[in-house]
Amino acid sequence: MDWPIAEVARMSGVTARTLRHYDEIGLLPPARIGASGHRHYGEQQLLRLQQILVLRALGVGLPEIGRILAEQVDEVEALRGHHRRLLAERDRLDALAATVSRTIGELELSRKDGTSMTAINRPENLFEGVRPAQYEESLRDFPEHSEAVARRVTEMTPQDIEAGQRERTAQMVRLAELMAAGLPAAAEPVQAETEAQYRALTELRGGSVSVEEFRALGRSCVENEQWRAAYEAIAPGLAAYQRDAIEAYATSGLG
């Protein structure tokens, strides 16, 4: 039994265009090509697609997925390995959600009492569940930006990296507060936050970031599984809110 590409797209949530791309790069060839030229997929291809999507959800790039699938021998053992990684990622996201929730409470308390947030809690607790490497892994679809991040990280001290992560977490919390206040993504305070993000990107790159690349980064907040999970751990809907804020800035501030 096999399934046409349209049915596989419906079942998996992957677009037919993406499935054709996977075929073109040798990652997921179909079981056969029908008389009409349409691709058809069998059970083995569906299992392989599942592994591809699991690895993508874990932030693995397509070239690396190809190497992993080429080297693996036993599908059950491979799936067990993916299962272990998913459980580890679940635990990390649980820790991240708890960290952000605690940070929100501490920020609210510090604003109310006028005390320093780090006087309420140890500063290192801000980073539980946050792995700087995860952001580098998730940038594989943006090679120029990924290379810039890699170069910048090699020049940074551990204190610099911690400060960057602290600011990134604070920025996401500020954005969540604006969303909770009911401000649209195009509102001035939201756009001010987005402009600060764009300036940070250009500084990191050491040059301008094109409008289309900034838009693509915004879309990745929703389409990239790791990025979306990080945003949604702070507040449901925050990933789409960030995407919309970037789209608005790209149109008005950069367009």
Which pLDDT score, from 0 to 100, does residue 154 have? 62
Q: State which residues of the chain have pLDDT below 70.
A: 59, 73, 92, 99, 103, 106-107, 110, 114-156, 158-165, 255
What pLDDT sits at residue 156?
A: 64
Half-sphere exposure of residue 115: CA atoms within 13 angstroms, side-chain side: 11
Sheet of 32-33: strand order equals 3-4, 39-41, 32-33
Q: What is the pTM (predicted TM-score) of this model?
A: 0.48
Domain ranges of the chain: 3-72, 89-129, 131-255
10 Å CB burial of residue 37 (0-12, 13-18, 19+) is: exposed
Backbone angles phi and psi of 42, in degrees to 5: -100, -175
- The class that CATH gives domain 3-72 is mainly alpha
User: Residue 184 and residue 237: Cα distance in Å, rounded?
Assistant: 12
What distance in Å separates the CA atoms of residue 193 and residue 244, rounded to the nearest whole number? 13
Query: How high is the pLDDT of residue 137?
Result: 47
Q: At what angle do helices 75-113 and 225-234 cross, to 10 degrees?
A: 30
pLDDT of residue 101: 75
CATH of domain 131-255: 1.10.490.50
> Looking at residue 243, what is its pLDDT?
94
Lookup: tokens for 40: 């058809």
pLDDT at 195: 93
Output the pLDDT for position 117.
46
**pLDDT, position 183:** 94
